[in-house]
């Protein structure tokens, strides 16, 4: 029997974004509302044993890459232990982390030791006041986290900048310089209408095709390839090592090459970031489903993976926040 997961559109699924919590220690304007507390109960989170089991079955049918995400994954107690357990799965080739960086200083080294090779860090501004206005948090802590990740030998380190017109689009060139100086990769992201926060942020939507043209006026941009680059289309600035990824779900969607699904902290398997199709794995796991049945459930789920998101056609469709799905 074929041991890979292929959906109805011929896309091979080899990547799982694993949200370990929907909670977060920041409140980015485009993601989580200030004062929001309606989170999943910890008793409803998949345990580390349950996560490891689902991922073992997933790796048995071709998944090779896992990204730990959230919410803020570093707010989940003992994340390093989970990382080590996933890293020990024989067929897993790549374990990475998406974090806001706030608590990274104290965890970077242990995470690297546990097998987390690469890290993506959300950073919307290099100006302390503006950073705080966007996230509710402190920039210095994120900068310390970034330095710690570098010191721990994580590579590549990618900066995720959600670009918002009139909010931080005047900082893109500064961010380019910051990343050149430190050897980071830059990923510019278009706002997505996920939940009420995402829709409000979408009022500041900026088409990144225009940003690319703007950057080309200052820098000599060459097409580039980034191993594991996923949906970002990369350019390199000539004469530097800087690669810039453009994540353009709205202006130029990349659904035809989608290779991923998302497992939320409560065990909901979302088949597409921008659709509501899902399978609840937690009840099945807690009712004693066998590994063979779990594999069958995953196959049936992948067969239902939607063709594409409809962020443009139906911007009201997704009521859950990005932090719930695992961005």
Query: Interface with ligand SF4 by CB under 6 A: which residues?
Result: 24, 26-28, 31-32, 70-72, 100, 122, 135, 322-323
DSSP state of 173: H
Least Å distance, CB 260 to ligand SF4, is 18
Selection from ligand SAM, ligand SF4, none that 192 binds (CB < 5 to 8 A by kind) is ligand SAM
Applying CB under 6 A, which of residues 20, 189, 232, 302 lies at the interface with ligand SAM?
189
Applying CB under 6 A, which of residues 29, 98, 103, 297 lies at the interface with ligand SAM?
98
Applying CB under 6 A, which of residues 145, 198, 245, 274 lies at the interface with ligand SAM?
198
Q: Which is nearer to ligand SF4, 30 or 219 (CB)?
A: 30
Q: What radius of gyration, in Å, describes the C-alpha atoms of the chain?
A: 19
Do strands 221-224 and 233-237 pair parallel, antiparallel, or not at all (unpaired)? antiparallel
For the CA atoms of 320, 212, 185, 22, what is the dihedral angle to 10 degrees?
0
Q: What is the DSSP code string of 82-105?
A: HHHHHHTSTT--EEEEEE-STTHH
**Binding piece for ligand SAM, criterion CB under 6 A, among 36-44, 57-65, 76-84, 94-102:** 94-102
Selection from ligand SF4, ligand SAM, none that 27 binds (CB < 5 to 8 A by kind) is ligand SF4
**Structure token digits, residue 97:** 């982390």
**Binding piece for ligand SAM, criterion CB under 6 A, among 42-50, 95-103, 230-238, 259-267:** 95-103
CA-closest candidate to residue 327, choices 251, 247, 250: 247
125 is a site residue for ligand SAM (CB under 6 A): no
Q: Which is nearer to ligand SF4, 3 or 34 (CB)?
A: 34
- Which residues, listed in sequence order, are joined to residue 15 by a DSSP beta bridge? 65, 260
Selection from ligand SF4, ligand SAM, none that 191 binds (CB < 5 to 8 A by kind) is ligand SAM
**Distances, alpha carbon 100 to alpha carbons 26, 49, 175, 206, 283, in Å:** 8, 25, 16, 22, 30
Do strands 118-122 and 94-99 pair parallel, antiparallel, or not at all (unpaired)? parallel
Least Å distance, CB 11 to ligand SF4, is 26
Burial of residue 52 (number of CB atoms within 10 Å: 0-12, 13-18, 19+): middle
Q: Which is nearer to ligand SAM, 7 or 310 (CB)?
A: 310
Q: Which is nearer to ligand SAM, 200 or 240 (CB)?
A: 200
5 is a site residue for ligand SAM (CB under 6 A): no
72 is a site residue for ligand SAM (CB under 6 A): yes
Q: Which is nearer to ligand SF4, 92 or 121 (CB)?
A: 121
Burial of residue 229 (number of CB atoms within 10 Å: 0-12, 13-18, 19+): middle
**Structure token digits, residue 309:** 């998101």
Q: Is the Cβ–Cβ distance between 46 and 82 less than 8 Å?
A: no
The Cβ of residue 191 has, within 10 Å, a number of other Cβ atoms equal to: 25
162 is a site residue for ligand SAM (CB under 6 A): yes
Least Å distance, CB 184 to ligand SF4, is 18
Contact residues for ligand SAM (CB under 6 A)?
24, 30-31, 69-70, 72, 98-100, 122, 160, 162, 189, 191-192, 194, 198, 201, 322-323, 327
């Amino acid at each position: 029997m074929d041991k890979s997961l292929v959906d109805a559109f011929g896309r091979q699924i080899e990547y799982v974004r694993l949200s370990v919590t929907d909670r977060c220690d920041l409140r980015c304007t485009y993601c989580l509302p200030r004062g929001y507390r309606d989170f999943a109960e910890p008793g409803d989170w998949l345990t580390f044993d349950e996560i490891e089991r689902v991922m073992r079955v997933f790796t048995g049918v071709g998944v090779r890459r896992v990204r730990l995400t959230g919410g803020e994954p570093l707010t989940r107690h003992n994340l390093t232990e989970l990382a080590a357990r996933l890293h020990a799965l024989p067929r897993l080739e790549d374990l990475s982390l998406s974090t806001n960086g706030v608590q990274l200083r104290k965890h970077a080294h242990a995470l690297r030791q546990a097998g987390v090779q690469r890290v993506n860090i959300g950073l919307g501004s290099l100006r302390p006041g503006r950073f705080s206005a966007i996230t509710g948090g402190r920039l210095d802590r994120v900068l310390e986290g970034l330095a710690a990740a570098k010191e721990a030998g994580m590579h590549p380190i990618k900066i995720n900048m959600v670009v918002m017109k009139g909010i931080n689009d005047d900082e893109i060139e500064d961010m380019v310089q910051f990343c050149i100086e430190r050897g980071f990769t830059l990923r510019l992201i278009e706002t997505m209408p996920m939940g009420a926060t995402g829709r409000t942020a979408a009022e500041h939507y900026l088409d990144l095709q225009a940003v690319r043209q703007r950057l080309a006026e200052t820098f000599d941009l060459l097409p580039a390839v980034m191993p594991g680059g996923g949906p970002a289309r990369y350019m390199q600035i000539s004469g530097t090592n800087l690669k810039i990824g453009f994540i353009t779900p709205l202006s130029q969607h990349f659904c035809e090459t989608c290779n991923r699904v998302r497992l939320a902290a409560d065990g909901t398997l979302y088949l597409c970031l921008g659709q509501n199709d899902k399978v609840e794995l937690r009840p099945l796991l807690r009712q004693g489903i066998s590994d063979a049945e779990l594999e069958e459930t995953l196959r049936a789920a992948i067969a239902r993976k939607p063709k594409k998101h409809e962020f443009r056609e139906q911007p009201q469709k997704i009521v859950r926040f990005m932090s719930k799905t695992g961005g």
